[in-house]
Structure 1
Amino acid sequence: MGNCWCGGEPSVYRVSSNAKSESPKQESPSVNSTKHFDKLPSNPKEVEDLRRDTAANPLVAFSYDELKAITGNFRQDRVLGGGGFGHVYKGFITEELREGLQPIQVAVKVHDGDNSYQGHREWLAEVIFLGQLSHPNLVKLIGYCCEDEHRVLIYEYMARGSVEHNLFSRVLLPLPWSTRMKIAFGAAKGLAFLHEAEKPVIYRDFKTSNILLDLDYNAKLSDFGLAKDGPVGEKSHVSTRIMGTYGYAAPEYIMTGHLTSRSDVYSYGVVLLELLTGRKSLDKSRPAREQNLTDWAVPFLKEKKKILNIADPRLNGDYPVKGLQKAAMLAYHCLNRNPKARPLMRDIVDSLEPLQVSDEDLIGKGTTLTFTVNVANVKTVLP
């Protein structure tokens, strides 16, 4: 999926594999028992019928004409970004639009560019998951449009766009250390919430383009099109088609199609590395040995003295050495080849909390980073 809600094209690399088809028993509520495209909901009433048992958040069913009014008839100068699904537009809900609606800026994600079964299923997954989940580090879904062939989502507007745009932009000022740690902390809290929900959710597509920022650089996860219900009971994993993004997907998931919450932890480790290094997970413009971020960085992470070699040069040394070392070691453990030896997201949140201070306070000071791996008699296989 991977949409950037500000200027520029997102970098999307789909994982391909000869994996098994998804089992209907493991589907999210949105697509359970729907084997044919024409059985997916085709109007708001059918959407709400699907949402009835799980809906916790009220959503507004907008008409397509209302969306035209919100976006100025989808004006090109309102485009925030886009991808294979279509485009995202900046919009304005006014008091005149509909009685009871509060004036607010919104982001309107139009799926008309992808009218396939998979495209509509991903649209529906977002409606279902964000209609039942609410957290400060998840983007808020305000409503949707399901009219004729139109499939549209209306979110709260995130003024600074994606982490991808802010971290890798050639025109914006480099993100300072404290902001990078704030982003890492917020995104970790979002994932931890999903993993520990009453019905656990595996995000499956965690990456910088799917983390959005408000004016204060608070991070919120967006794009739940590939999210899956986690395993229940005695099951250890979900068997599913392999979908995600090259450079972020966990190696065991790519090899087996077995999806667990630890798959998200691996992806989190990649994003944390991107924040520390200022490098993309995959960058074909770099020398061959440096194109894959994890392949390049992990050897440095093994030795404390070499960790400084991975720091983003645009930080100009403006970071606490011990803080960088602690965060780098956390990334190292997240990227463990043995998924059971990776930390839980709740432990990652606890580990990052001591780093949530200003750059001035951190310079020259030591910080502590601790987490536990709740695995008995497991041999740790380092990356």
Structure 2
Amino acid sequence: MEPQDVSGVNLFDMHTIRTATNNFSSSNKLGQGGFGPVYKGKLIDGKEIAVKRLSSSSGQGTDEFMNEIRLISKLQHKNLVRLLGCCIKGEEKLLIYEYLVNKSLDVFLFDSILKFEIDWPKRFNIIQGVARGLLYLHRDSRLRVIHRDLKVSNILLDEKMIPKISDFGLARMSQGTQYQDNTRRVVGTLGYMAPEYAWTGVFSEKSDIYSFGVLLLEIIIGEKISRFSEEGKTLLAYAWESWCETKGVDLLDQALADSSHPTEVGRCVQIGLLCVQHQPAERPNTLELMSMLTTTSDLPSPKQPTFAVHSRDDDSTSNDLITVNEMTQSVIQGR
């Protein structure tokens, strides 16, 4: 590591972290990320933390670990998770974050009981909060960051259900709002990946917008894109047909219908479909997206999504990290 890599980042010693997590006790484990487990801990002063432990068997994880330190330590926004510091000793590499009591959005959204705790007003606030975080990354931060792995399990919730975008291991800095880059190593989660990124490795602000559109539709419907099947239709195809027939007002999880504003729900469905347009130029940019979500201005009509994507389980596992060579046509269906 170079000194500039960790400038401004608190360095924790291993003894402190082992004590805080009860020596990485299984009872303290919060979940399993793509590059290793995450543990809850409590420091001597009572402050609760979340510790991401890089798995020693994760050969590709070191680059993501360093990337996360370099990027997120320089980003500060109420809708981004806050990095408190890191710990590096021998083969051990740890990232220490603020602990968020409500864990991740998928814990609520896809649970038959907990979903009732996030009614439509709370879901709409979460949608807007994620968009604000994305606006900061794309436009307002000095680094201009493309996240590349925006999904429900990477949206954390604090005690007031304020959303915070997390997991910046795959993020990349861009050089302007119209900037596009490409990579030979396509990484991310199937189902959330924009077609141009999945097929050619090209990523930009608009590839994050595509992922946001999928996330938005999942929040409305209350189902994972990877597990959704209604009369054999994928989530995107189902959302498109609903918008064509009823302007999407019946798409909200019916258990929450009493809390909804149908016009607001329909507008969000339309915004979600605009975000998943096949051509990047036909998707809104992040500024336009924020305006769409906070005003009642007229919206353009979306076109039918070209691709309906079946993905594997979208939990953060190494199976979600793919390369172009591993992508097969059995994953993506033309419409």
TM-score w.r.t. length of structure 2: 0.84
CA distance in 2, matches of 1:134, 1:223: 14
Maintained 8 Å contact 2:121/2:259: no
Superposition deviation, residue 370 in structure 1: 4.8
- The alpha carbon displacement at 1:382 in A equals 4.7
CA-CA distance at 1:137 after TM superposition: 0.6
C-alpha distance in structure 2 between counterparts of 1:133 and 1:203, whole Å? 12
Residue of structure 2 in register with 1:186 after alignment:
129
Q: 1:309 to 1:70 in 2, by over 3 A?
A: same
**Deviation string, structure 1 residues 52-89 (Cα, Å, up to 9, x no partner):** 5xxxxx32111211110111111221111113422111
Matched with 2:86 is 144
Task: Tell me the secondary structure at the aligned position of residue 188 of structure 1.
Answer: helix
Deviation at 1:152, TM superposition (A): 0.6
**What is the letter of the counterpart of residue 50 of structure 1?**
D
Q: Does the C-alpha gap of structure 1 residues 381 and 315 become closer, same or farther in structure 2, counting only changes over 3 Å?
A: closer
Residues 243-289 of structure 1 show CA distances to partners (whole Å, capped at 9, x for unaligned) of 111111011111211111000001000010011111111106x3572
Q: Report what 1:88 is aligned to.
A: 38
Task: Tell me the equivalent position of 1:316.
Answer: 257
Show CA shifts across 1:84-119 (max 9, x none).
422111111123xxxxxxx41111111125441x20
Contact persistence 2:38–2:51 (CA under 8 A): yes
Structure 2 letter corresponding to 1:148: G
Task: State the AA in 2 paired with 1:78.
Answer: N
Structure 1 residue runs of 4 or more that deviate by more than 3 Å after TM superposition? 369-373
Matched, 1:263 2:213: no
Question: Which amino acid in the other structure matches residue 265 of structure 1?
Answer: I
1:101-147 per-residue CA deviation (whole Å, 9 max, x = no partner) reads xx41111111125441x201111111111111111110000000111
CA distance in 2, matches of 1:326, 1:298: 13
Establish whether residue 158 from structure 1 lines up as the match of residue 136 from structure 2. Answer: no
Aligned length: 302
SS at match of 1:143: strand
Q: Which residue of structure 1 lines up, in the alignment, with residue 294 of structure 2?
A: 353
1:49 aligns to what?
4
Distance 1:178 1:130 in 2: 29
- Tell me, yes or no, if structure 1 residue 272 matches structure 2 residue 222: no
Residue pair 1:231, 1:260 contacting (<8 A) in 2 also = no
From 288, 296, 306, the counterpart of 2:238 = 296
Query: What SS does the aligned partner of 1:161 have?
Result: coil
Letter in 2 for 1:73: N
Return the match for 2:186 from 237, 242, 254.
242
Distance 1:271 1:173, change over 3 A: closer
The 8 Å contact of residues 181 and 352 in structure 1, kept in 2 or not, is answered as: no
- Letter aligned with residue 264 of structure 2: G
The amino acid across from 2:5 in the alignment is L
1:69 matched to which residue of 2? 19
- The 5-angstrom pairing of residues 187-202 of structure 1 reads 187-196=130-139, 197-202=141-146
Q: Give the fraction of aligned pairs with identical amino acids, expressed as a percent.
A: 34
Q: 8 Å contact 1:114–1:120 — kept in the other structure?
A: no
Give the direction of change, closer, same or farther, for the CA distance of 1:372–1:61 in structure 2 (3 Å limit): farther
Is the 2:239–2:269 contact (alpha carbons within 8 Å) kept by the matching residues of 1?
no
Which residue matches 1:79?
29
The one-letter amino acid paired with 1:277 is I
Selected match of 2:10 from 36, 40, 60: 60
Cα contact 2:56–2:91 (8 A) shared by 1 = no
Structure 2 alignment gaps of length 5 or more? 306-335
Larger radius of gyration: 1
Shift of 1:167: 0.4
Task: Tell me if structure 2 keeps the 8 A contact 1:88–1:108.
Answer: yes
**C-alpha distance in 2, partners of 1:198/1:71?**
34
Shift of 1:51: 4.2
The amino acid that maps onto 2:182 is S
